[in-house]
Structure 1
């Protein structure tokens, strides 16, 4: 029985197939065509020591999303925090579903303080990855993304202190509330400053780093008070003080490299794709968050298994 010609699908000719292949190749080349520092408009010039690897400006969210799958000087910045955000979500779900039920004394307050930490980490890492993915979109989108990126950093710093202060000052709820309010107010002030237009310019890079470091170091006030009131060992047991200090050091060291633009300033162009200061800063942020989580998990264990929740004084 003869087939109906109307149902047949016409095969593309050799010339049509060749033309389609050429167009696809041109599209891939266009997507992967990277720019030099000298090719950039002024609003995209942030670090003169990174000389190449810049994506061309394309006002398309789809094109920005496609750039996740080829290599450029933002690839590590994007994927380090995108992967970090995904791992954080998975870890949070695991803790809530698997770990929490093992502790009969665990309650909604434990869930809330860990939710603050995990939530702030996801906000920080997610906003950071989104901003770096969209820096090639347009000046307006990059500007808003930059502000959200800074807001995410503040959120993570504040969110990290919530479980530490909760467990560290559990037996002194008034002090706990005062210090939580203090860190939240300081964080709000940093967010307001972050949205000032001048703040995001390259000239303000050292001041940005200084502000974030200062916010992190504000924890010295409650920690110092706790040391005087409880002593080192009690604070170590209740809030994993050594791990809190280690995670703070990681933030500060990463921010320091970001501020001085090392190592790229020592050899401009050599660290464009791999190993420049912003990438190192990103890695330290992820490591610091993981370190802080480990410390807070130890504090949680002590609180519920080491009789840490019994207030004797």
Structure 2
């Protein structure tokens, strides 16, 4: 009688005996993923739901954080995915060397308009500082004996830096309309580094410039910055497939990654230049 009851129960619920540990793990993971997605949907919003001052790139359609009027609430967004997550952590991971201002910007971008404007200005000023700081040691090692030339290039880059920082602070140039202008300005500032390289080759030849300034690493740095800036200005790849790169893979995020690559190239180049200058020594007359 007991056997019949068990058999009948098994026939009534045969699926109870087909669950394995892997099935349970898979089911749990699937439920967790669905819960995370639902939570993320509530924490983020679409382009059409943004306030006017938050709108910059209409090819990014989703994953935005709504304005919170609270730094604390904005900082809580570090714990979930949205379309600034990559920008935040790309700078946080590189903050040992640079990018502190930019990390603060993207972590607190959504509280309110005035706060966003302030940190946006600091972001641009941080970029100016990064380029200027990269330029100065490169020129120092490249023209270690030619002090007048060295000082001339230092004055040039500092003048350009002041001009770029001044424009960055001006509200008129911080709007999405002037995005290409801002990008062109910083590209021009970066390309000004080509002048001392060409000048150095004329004075000392390619091999000596490579030995003094690690030219190949500086060119790699410039290439990373230039490609990143062009993608950012063109809004590629999100322009080609709107909505597909809202959270990961947008031009802004690629730009951030290439900035890290460029800064890494610069660091390597300066280490090589330092070693060459202090081991072999450039003998000045």
**Band the TM-score falls in, shorter-chain normalisation:** 0.7 to 0.9
Return the alpha-carbon distance in structure 2 between the equivalents of residues 155 and 307 of structure 1. 29
The 1:247–1:30 alpha-carbon spacing in structure 2 relative to 1, beyond 3 Å, is: closer
Q: Could you say which residue in structure 2 is the equivalent of 1:209?
A: 183
Partner deviation per Cα, 1:166-208 (whole Å, 9 max, x = no partner): 1111011121111111101110110001111121111111111
Extract structure 1 runs of 4+ deviating beyond 3 A: 28-32
The 1:274–1:29 alpha-carbon spacing in structure 2 relative to 1, beyond 3 Å, is: closer
Return the alpha-carbon distance in structure 1 between the equivalents of residues 159 and 50 of structure 2. 38
Instruction: Kindly state the Cα deviation for residue 277 of structure 1 after the two structures are TM-superposed.
Output: 0.3
**Equivalent residue in structure 1 for 2:255, among 273, 278, 281:** 281
The 1:39–1:175 alpha-carbon spacing in structure 2 relative to 1, beyond 3 Å, is: same
Q: Matched residue of 2:94: which SS?
A: helix
Q: Is the 8 A contact 1:131 1:142 kept in 2?
A: yes
Q: Is the 8 A contact 2:121 2:168 kept in 1?
A: yes
**Equivalent residue in structure 2 for 1:241, among 199, 215, 227:** 215
Q: Is the 8 A contact 2:40 2:80 kept in 1?
A: no
Q: Is the 8 A contact 1:167 1:239 kept in 2?
A: yes
The 1:240–1:51 alpha-carbon spacing in structure 2 relative to 1, beyond 3 Å, is: same
Q: Is the 8 A contact 1:239 1:299 kept in 2?
A: yes
Instruction: Kindly state the Cα deviation for residue 307 of structure 1 after the two structures are TM-superposed.
Output: 2.4
Q: Matched residue of 2:56: which SS?
A: coil
Return the alpha-carbon distance in structure 2 between the equivalents of residues 30 and 242 of structure 1. 44
The 1:34–1:239 alpha-carbon spacing in structure 2 relative to 1, beyond 3 Å, is: same
1:195 is aligned to 2:169: yes
Which one has a bigger Cα radius of gyration? Answer: 2
**Equivalent residue in structure 1 for 2:47, among 32, 37, 40:** 37
1:70 is aligned to 2:80: yes
Partner deviation per Cα, 1:247-297 (whole Å, 9 max, x = no partner): 011101000000000000111100000100000000000010001100110
Return the alpha-carbon distance in structure 1 between the equivalents of residues 223 and 42 of structure 2. 38
Partner deviation per Cα, 1:3-57 (whole Å, 9 max, x = no partner): xxxxxxxxxxxxxxxxxxxxxx9xx959952100000111000000000001111
Q: Could you say which residue in structure 1 is the equivalent of 2:265?
A: 291
Aligned Cα root-mean-square deviation (Å): 1.6
**Equivalent residue in structure 2 for 1:225, among 172, 181, 199:** 199
Return the alpha-carbon distance in structure 2 between the equivalents of residues 31 and 142 of structure 1. 23
Deviates more, 1:269-278 or 1:198-207: 198-207
Q: Could you say which residue in structure 2 is the equivalent of 1:6?
A: none
Q: Could you say which residue in structure 1 is the equivalent of 2:140?
A: 166
Q: TM-score normalized by structure 1?
A: 0.77
Return the alpha-carbon distance in structure 2 between the equivalents of residues 233 and 277 of structure 1. 36
Q: Is the 8 A contact 1:58 1:138 kept in 2?
A: yes
Return the alpha-carbon distance in structure 2 between the equivalents of residues 31 and 170 of structure 1. 57
Q: TM-score normalized by structure 2?
A: 0.84
Partner deviation per Cα, 1:154-174 (whole Å, 9 max, x = no partner): 111110011101111101112
Matches within 5 A, 1:293-312: 293-308=267-282, 310-311=283-284
1:141 is aligned to 2:151: no
Q: Is the 8 A contact 1:254 1:280 kept in 2?
A: yes
Return the alpha-carbon distance in structure 2 between the equivalents of residues 129 and 185 of structure 1. 26
Gaps of 5+ in 2: 1-34
Q: Is the 8 A contact 1:127 1:148 kept in 2?
A: yes
**Equivalent residue in structure 2 for 1:52, among 43, 62, 75:** 62
